[in-house]
Amino acid sequence: METITLSDIEEMELLARVQFATSLPGAKPISLIGTIGSEGTTNLAPFSSVVHLGSSPCLLGMVSRPDSVNRHTAANILATGCWTINHLHPQILPAAHQCSARYPQETSEFDAVGLSPLFHDGFAAPFVSESLFRIGLELLEMIPIPANGTQLIIGKVVLVQVPSAFRHDHGGIDLVGLDCLASTALDTYFQLRAPVRMSYAKPGVSPTRI
């Protein structure tokens, strides 16, 4: 077992340190965040920092990186008050990965990588038509994180688009059936395997598979 210290981490070459640090939480959901600017230009960016924050109301959060360069996603969310989360599957992975390239603000990643915007009446931000699991959110707050200059962006779920066949009777979404992907580091992606469900945990009762 290797022990890696803080000084070891600080001495890593920048890209290696980023790869190392983003691997620490393990595999995370990867999705394309869809936004639109005040001038009408659509934007897509891959994010692996989306987290569940609560179910009543249904809240999701994501972390926007420091604004040492222009962060189109955060700026668009602030301008319009909404965004979309579009889960990935293998067929759209190459195009989705290409969205991480630093295109200028006036360029739509939809056009650049060949994905199709999909709009829902009354909701400004674009969904990805090719995604099979799409979520629309309204901005509640942006919380600065002074320790590293990032922001926690918190939104309320107002729309969910998913084929009805992939909704479980117990309420969950069949992420395996939808072939949803996960990621770690900057360039590594994973497919999900069939899950194991365990009984609701109670003190003094041994959990069982269900």
The pLDDT, as a whole number, for residue 68 is 54
In a domain, 175, yes or no: yes
Domain of residue 96, residue span: 18-191
In a domain, 132, yes or no: yes
168 CB burial (10 A radius; 0-12, 13-18, 19+): exposed
Token pair for residue 42?
């659509």
How many whole angstroms separate alpha carbon 45 and alpha carbon 113?
Answer: 11
In a domain, 114, yes or no: yes
The pLDDT, as a whole number, for residue 159 is 97
Task: Report pTM.
Answer: 0.93
Q: Which residues pair with 36 in a beta bridge?
A: 42
The pLDDT, as a whole number, for residue 194 is 85
The pLDDT, as a whole number, for residue 196 is 85
In a domain, 168, yes or no: yes
In a domain, 45, yes or no: yes
Residues in the chain predicted with pLDDT less than 70, given as ranges, are 67-70
Return the CATH number at 100: 2.30.110.10
In a domain, 122, yes or no: yes
How many whole angstroms separate alpha carbon 110 and alpha carbon 179?
Answer: 22
How many whole angstroms separate alpha carbon 76 and alpha carbon 92?
Answer: 23
How many whole angstroms separate alpha carbon 167 and alpha carbon 138?
Answer: 23
In a domain, 202, yes or no: no
Number of domains into which the chain is organized: 1
In a domain, 104, yes or no: yes
The pLDDT, as a whole number, for residue 78 is 95
The 10s digit of each residue's pLDDT in 27-50 is 999 999 999 998 899 999 999 999
Tell me if 84 sits within 8 A of 96, measured CB to CB. no
